[in-house]
Structure 1
Amino acid sequence: MPNHWLQSAKEYVRPYYLKWLFFRLQSQNCPTYFRECWSYPAASPDPFHAGAQAPAEAAASSGKPDILFLPLADWHTRIQRTQHLALTFASLGYRCFYVNPHLGREFPAVFPFSPKRILTNIGPRIQELHVHLPREPVFHHRCLSSAESGTLTSAILQLPFSQTQGAPIIITSFPLWADVAHALKLRWGSRIVYDCHDLMTGFGNIAPDLLEAESALLDSADLVIFSAQALFDHYRQLHPGIETRSILLRNAVSCSDFAPDDGADPARHPAQAGHTPTVGYIGSLSSWFDVELIRFAAAARPAWRFVLIGRIENPRVESLRSLPNVHLHGEVPYAGLARHLATFDVGIIPFVRNALTLSTNPIKLYEYFACGLPVVSATLPEVERYSDLVYLADDPKGFLRQLDMAMAESDSTLACRRHEIAAGESWRVRCQDLERRLGLA
């Protein structure tokens, strides 16, 4: 049997296996974000009913075009770049529509017994579209078929977009959606913005046809935004002339999200008597997380706490549980991050240096800065931009030396400077830059 037929057969069977057997027998393996996405109210009235009128909020005129987000990240996993852009654009008065990338796997029932399309309200001026495709494709395994892209396009066209504010802007951050985006452009005359925020080839699990689709998207997008200079430089070599329709739009932070609850100075770095020195990390614990740096440092500083917050995606991280001063907290809701960061004395970015991480612009750097924290990081180009405010190391002994120096930091002006930088590197500033580039401001 040809490989594509075998893959297709597996895709048709997998939803039944997962929902009727695996998730029922091992409910702990059902991702929490498959449940959390249904805690939001459905849009009312249902835009997919014939003759339905747009809700009052959706119909309200702001003088701004709507924005359609075709993302890589599920809104309900971890608040990342695309969600921040949507939240900020919504705060600026744009109505945003966000498509869930799981395309059916998040639905409790299998396709024949499930609604095919659901629209939910997930925040002021933000709605999320769930579309149930029969095969529930895993979004990094393959491109969508023409029929699947057609189903998605049809569902999106029925959303309550404004008819008076010009064509919606399409912001896509993954090549899976390329055919959908181009079909909508033909229908609406929209501009396609490709948000290139990671080196796709660096992940290792992205299907070859998706990498080919990304190359085509880079050539066809009306605007490409890059999150890091290294990404910009990499693709400028592969796609000559792309710089004429590209901008560098780095990651950022909303400082108000990390303001202390007690009103204390966010740039304070506590060194109180009886305080347990705490080294902290927030983010994915994946293949790029350097387990050995943490193992060495935690063993060398048994009186310190090492707090790792994030979903474990690399089995090697589990081995750190054997160290009594390493605490694996799992995923923490974005709204709870400030409370945890307030307990940190030092924030860390212990990444393995490879093509992916050398091209990344870590959001956590700005979040640590928003709290005034000293940061110990691997030597990454985007972190080196702040070399006078961070501590850089790439081997266990060097990482430990830099942790010692960061923990002993006593110059309060450094914390203030970090906070000032974070205040200037805000998501609002980023969205306003994008507005100007699109001629919307």
Structure 2
Amino acid sequence: MTDVAPPGFTPAPLSTPARTATPAGRPLMLCLSHLRWGFVYQRPQHLMSRLAQSYDVLFFEEPLFAEHVQPQLLASHPAHGVTVLVPQLPAGTPHDQVIAMQRDLLDGYLAQHRDAELLLWYLTPMSLAFTDHLHGQVTIFDCMDELSAFMGAPPELIERERQLLARTDVVFTGGQSLWEAKRHQHDNAHAMPSSVDIAHFAQARALLPDPADQAAIGHPRLGFFGVIDERFDIQLVDELARQRPQWQIVLIGPVVKIDPQTLPQRANIHYLGAKQYEQLPHYLAGWDVALMPFAINASTRFISPTKTPEYLAGGRPVVSTPIADVISGYGTSGVVSIADTPAAFIAAVERALGAEARDSVVVQADAALDGMSWDKTCNAMKEQIECLR
């Protein structure tokens, strides 16, 4: 996942007028999300901001809780045609009432748009708890990850997904291996791997100014951007830093669901925190090799990391642990090395640092990215949706 938040996300009272008017008569795309628009800029934001060219997008997030408040919806407009809706509920509300309050708030909002054609886009099956009474012209399940394998997944998620699949018209998966698993559960499932904004990350191929918090870090630099969570191989990064103290490891992204105290602390490991999407090419431009040190566990079995094409668009060689979709998608590219042990990982980085590798990486990266774009992915999804309307 790309680890950034676009600027301008400031929740406002629902009565605040939209910044821009949208054409009348457009379908209403209700996206039910477990991810916040303002946390990390990744697949949902890329897709919804593009789908907003054809649909009025409502991005409905999980609740926020506060003391001494009445249930209400907070709204913001982070992109043209996109309205983010966040339920704000009283702290301490019992779970069954949380569900009922979300249902009531959403129904109240949709009542203002009762004449619009409704399309339902689920990012999480858990949202079915307060939307199972809604009937969209088309119901879409964008299964971007195997959420049941993630740390802290609700025990009822598997059953909710079964229910959602039974009523879904089309399923999109975030990668090929996830499609292999879901195609046996739904007869209209399509692999729609996450893509890349090539022009954005290609800025890293130019000589960009080094960000202030990276400028003093020496070379060679090995970099990673993304969420640092249970999918991150802490031991591998520690071993890499221990065995090659002259290598500087730059880690960009928030630490989520794991104790920050468990992260390795060495002089050549640099935690720079979360960055804005617009900043990422500037950091990437200063790296010699891009890293994907994912742990091999249940939470990474079906992932299709968006950072692979983002690194390549930036013209950087990549070293990754053996993630299935990385192997199938980029394993023969010549610019993405796969390593299954610390020793193999170190050897792959050493090869990537070689002069010959640097000379050939851009050509190989361009070949690996040929024909890839978020526009193409989004258009393929829209075609499936329009066929069902």
Alignment of 1:167 onto 2:117: yes
How big is the shift at 1:45? 5.1
Say whether 1:302 aligns with 2:273: no
Give the SS at the match of 1:225: strand
Tell me the distance in 2 between the aligned counterparts of 1:39 and 1:150: 23
Matches of 2:167 and 2:143, distance apart in 1: 13
Please say if residues 230 and 299 of structure 2, whose CA atoms lie closer than 8 Å, have aligned partners that are also in contact.
Answer: no
Shift of 1:422: 3.4
Instruction: Give structure 1 stretches of 5+ with no counterpart.
Output: 1-31, 47-54, 266-273
> In 2, are the aligned partners of 1:224 and 1:246 still within 8 Å (CA)?
yes
Q: Does 1:227 align with 2:174?
A: yes
Deviations 1:244-291 (A, max 9, x none): 3111110111122223279569xxxxxxxx971110001111112111
Task: Report the counterpart of residue 264 of structure 2 in structure 1.
Answer: 320
TM-score (norm 2): 0.85
Residue 59 to residue 75, structure 1, CA distance change in 2 (3 Å): closer
Deviation at 1:370, TM superposition (A): 1.1
Contact 2:204/2:314 (CA < 8 Å) preserved in 1? no
Structure with more contact order per residue of length (Cα contacts < 8 Å, sep ≥ 6): 2
Cα contact 1:255–1:423 (8 A) shared by 2:
no
Deviations, residues 152-187 of structure 1 (Å, cap 9, x unaligned): 4314414557x4xx62321111112114443221xx
- Is 2:125 aligned against 1:151? no
Q: 1:80 to 1:59 in 2, by over 3 A?
A: closer
SS of equivalent residue, structure 2 residue 264: helix
Partner in structure 1 of residue 378 of structure 2: 431
Q: Are the structure 2 counterparts of residues 258 and 284 from structure 1 closer, same or farther at C-alpha, using a change threshold of 3 Å? A: same
Shift of 1:212: 1.0
CA-to-aligned-CA distance 1:90-109 (integer Å, 9 cap, x gap):
3x3432211122x123xxx4
Q: 2:183 aligns with which of 236, 241, 245?
A: 236
* Secondary structure, aligned partner of 2:156: helix
Partner SS state of residue 308, structure 1: strand
In structure 2, the residue matched to 1:277 is 220
Deviation at 1:43, TM superposition (A): 6.3
* 1:94 aligned onto 2:59: no
Q: Which amino acid aligns with 1:100?
A: E
Q: Is 1:183 the equivalent of 2:183?
A: no
Structure 2 stretches lacking a partner, 5+ long: 209-216
Letter in 2 for 1:392: I
Matched, 1:291 2:249: no
Which amino acid is 1:81 matched to? R
Q: Tell me if structure 2 keeps the 8 A contact 1:353–1:380.
A: yes
- Equivalent runs, 1:298-377 vs 2, <5 Å: 298-313=241-256, 314-315=258-259, 318-321=262-265, 323-377=266-320
Q: Give the TM-score normalised by structure 1.
A: 0.76
Q: Are the counterparts in 2 of residues 85 and 431 from structure 1 also a CA contact under 8 Å?
A: yes
Q: Which of 70, 84, 93 is the aligned partner of 2:46?
A: 84
How far apart, in 2, do the equivalents of 1:132 and 1:432 lie? 34
The residue number in structure 2 matching 1:71 is 33
Structure 1 contact 58–160 (Cα < 8 Å) conserved: no
Change (3 A) 1:251 1:262: closer
Q: Match of 1:173, as an amino acid? A: L
- Tell me if the contact between 2:248 and 2:270 (Cα under 8 Å) persists in the aligned partners: yes
Instruction: Name the count of aligned residue pairs.
Output: 371
Tell me if structure 2 keeps the 8 A contact 1:258–1:338. yes
The secondary structure found in structure 2 opposite 1:87 is: helix
Structure 2: which amino acid aligns with 1:60? P
The 8 Å contact of residues 252 and 271 in structure 2, kept in 1 or not, is answered as yes
Shift of 1:82: 1.1
Say if 2:49 and 2:82, in contact at 8 Å, map to a contact too. yes
Counterparts in 2 of 1:357 and 1:159: CA distance versus 1, 3 Å: farther
Task: Find the aligned partners of 1:261 and 1:290 in 2 and give their Cα distance.
Answer: 26
- CA deviations over 1:20-46 (Å, ceiling 9, x no partner): xxxxxxxxxxxx99xx98635656655
Rounded Cα–Cα distance in structure 1 between residues aligned with 2:352 and 2:19: 52
- Separation (CA, whole Å) in 2 of partners of 1:401 and 1:300: 11
1:69 Cα deviation (Å)?
1.1
Q: Write the distance in 2 (CA, Å) between the matches of 1:136 and 1:372.
A: 49
Deviation at 1:147, TM superposition (A): 1.9
Q: Is the Cα–Cα contact under 8 Å of residues 145 and 178 in structure 2 kept in the other structure? A: yes
